[in-house]
């Protein structure tokens, strides 16, 4: 006979929820601050180098700010659970807007628009973001999962998408500078657009996270609650 499933708790205690809420607010503030700086640098460098990839990267940073601001608004009052759906819709629209822009600009580049020049500032910025964003995303995702906040998890995935875009921009700028392969960046960016559409659909449906983490094992808890997303079942 197999062992029965362990008893599930009702989520974090009230005191723990206060700590987690403050932690989410801190991560959101850090995300907004970093992305404001990132947007300013990327948009300036992209304009100087005629780089649609860098300009798109800067606009993605602005979208990330709007996503983080939605979570900040949600957690600005005691009724943050009631604001969850609105925050998720704002995050979903941010994903769709990013996907639309990246698709249009990528197609324009592939069809013969102006090609980007070398940008040292852009390379450095993309490399720094590639190092910073995964850490920030993982920290916010873990806090959001334990709190049971789908919007906090969705925002963390927006940050993770920014990581992917950082890698694409870095690779595209580097390959363009080294080999003159101008098409590499817009081609890879189309993959990012497809991922953004998928994430936007999940955020719109509220499929970004399940119930709060429990004392049971993550895998068993996720299955018991009908979780169908790796953000809930894939971490220890």
Question: Which structural domains are found in the chain, ordered by start?
Answer: 14-233 (1.20.1510.10)
pLDDT tens sequence across 174-223? 888 888 887 877 777 788 888 888 878 887 887 544 444 444 444 433 33
Structural contact between residues 59 and 193, judged by C-beta atoms closer than 8 angstroms: no
- The percent of residues above 70 in pLDDT, for the chain, comes to 78
Say if residue 121's pLDDT is above 50. yes
User: Is pLDDT at 173 greater than 90 in this prediction?
Assistant: no
Assess contact for 137 and 160: CB atoms under 8 A.
yes
The span from the CA of 212 to the CA of 5, in Å, is 17
DSSP of 10-32, one letter per residue? -SS-HHHHHHHHHHHHHHHHHHH
75 or 141: which leads in pLDDT: 141
CA distance 203 to 161: 13
**Across 116-132, average pLDDT:** 89
Confidence of residue 114 (pLDDT cuts 50, 70, 90): low
Tell me the whole-structure pTM to 2 decimals.
0.66
């Amino acid at each position: 006979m197999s062992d029965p499933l362990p008893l599930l708790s009702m989520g974090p205690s009230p005191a723990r929820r206060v700590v987690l809420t403050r932690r989410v607010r801190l991560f959101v503030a850090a995300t907004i601050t970093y992305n404001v700086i990132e947007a300013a640098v990327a948009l300036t460098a992209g304009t100087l180098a005629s780089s649609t990839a860098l300009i798109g990267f800067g606009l993605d940073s602005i979208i990330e700010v709007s996503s983080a601001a939605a979570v900040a608004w949600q957690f600005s009052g005691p009724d943050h659970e009631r604001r969850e759906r609105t925050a998720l819709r704002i995050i979903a629209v941010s994903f769709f807007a990013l996907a639309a822009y990246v698709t249009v600009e990528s197609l324009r580049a592939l069809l013969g628009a102006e090609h980007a020049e070398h940008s040292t500032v852009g390379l450095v910025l993309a490399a720094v973001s590639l190092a910073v964003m995964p850490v920030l995303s993982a920290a916010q995702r873990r806090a959001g999962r334990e709190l049971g906040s789908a919007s906090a998890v969705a925002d963390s995935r927006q940050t993770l998408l920014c990581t992917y875009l950082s890698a694409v921009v870095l690779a595209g700028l580097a390959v363009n500078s080294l080999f003159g392969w101008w098409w590499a960046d817009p081609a890879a960016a189309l993959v990012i657009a497809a991922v953004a559409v998928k994430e936007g659909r999940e955020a719109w449906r509220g499929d970004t996270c399940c119930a709060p983490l429990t004392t049971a094992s993550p895998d068993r808890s996720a299955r018991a609650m009908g979780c169908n997303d790796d953000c809930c079942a894939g971490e220890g």
